[in-house]
Amino acid sequence: MSTFEEGQKVWVEQPDGTQRAGVFVSEAKASWMGGAPGAYVAYPDSQSGEEVAIMRIVPRDDAG
């Protein structure tokens, strides 16, 4: 079970090591082939989204 909530602001680690601002949408259903747990994220900057490994997501605090 995920510790993220729908609509929560998150950072998503990109393949080059940078972080991209996103919004957590939901957990991805487990594949019958196994693999790492996934999640769906949306990117407001490009109005797009993707499924990523949940281990690539960290909470984002925009208060500062």
Q: Which of 18, 32, 25 is nearest to 49 (CA)?
A: 25
What is the number of domains present in the chain? 1
pLDDT at 53: 93
Position 2 in a domain: no
Q: pLDDT by residue (tens digit) across 17-64?
A: 999 999 999 999 876 676 778 999 999 999 999 999 999 999 998 754
What are the backbone angles phi and psi of residue 27, rounded to the nearest 5°? -75, 145
pLDDT at 62: 72
Position 30 in a domain: yes
Position 1 in a domain: no
pTM, rounded to two decimals: 0.82
pLDDT at 64: 46
Angstrom CA distances, 17 to 2, 4, 7, stand at 23, 21, 24
Position 43 in a domain: yes
Between CA 35 and CA 44 the distance in angstroms is: 27
Is residue 13 predicted with pLDDT exceeding 70? yes
What is the residue range of 43's domain?
Answer: 9-59
Position 64 in a domain: no
pLDDT at 5: 95
